[in-house]
Amino acid sequence: GKVGSVQRTSLRRDVASFTALRYVKNKLHNTIFRIDQSFTPQTKNCIYIIFCFRCGKQYVGETKNTIRMRVWQHTYNIRNGKELHTPLVNHFMLHGLPALRVAGLQSYSWWSDTQRKSNERRWIYRLQTIAPNGLNIKY
C-alpha cells in the first residue's frame, strides 16, 4: 500500500545520509580529531555529528536512542518547518535535506544521561560548533 512505500523511501533516505568518518575537523582552527569507534544507524547512547555536504557546517548532538531515530526526528522538523528557531532546521531548509550527512563520534552503552550530555558538550567545544560558526545553540 501507499503508506508502506512512503515509509520505506523515507527510511532509505535516512540511511543514505549516514556516513562513517575516521576523522573530524574543527573548521575554525583546522585541528583534527580521530574517531576511534565504528558506528551504524542503529548505534544507541551516543554523540553524533550532522554536517552539511554543501558548506561543511557542523552540528553535534546526543541521543539515548538510535542515531537513525534521532536523525529522523531532525529531518521531520526540517521537512515540516518545525523548530524554526534552531540554526540546524534553518540551515537545511536553505541548503536542502539531500546535503545532510550524519556520522557517529563517540558511544558507550554504559553512559548515564549526564555522562552522555557532558561528552556532547566536550565535542561541541572541541569542534566549536556553536552558531554562527556551527549549527549548535549555546545552552
Q: Residue 2 above 90 pLDDT? A: no
Instruction: Give the pLDDT score at 138.
Output: 77
Among 44, 63, 32, smallest CA distance to 108 is for 44
Give the 3-state secondary structure percentages of the chain, helix then strand then coil, rounded to 5.
Answer: 40, 25, 35
Q: Which domains does the chain possess?
A: 2-127 (3.40.1440.10)
Q: Residue 8 above 70 pLDDT? A: no
- Say if pTM beats, i.e. exceeds, 0.75: yes
Per residue in 70-129, pLDDT tens? 999 999 999 999 999 999 999 999 999 999 999 999 999 999 999 999 999 999 999 999
Show the cell assigned to 88: 540546524
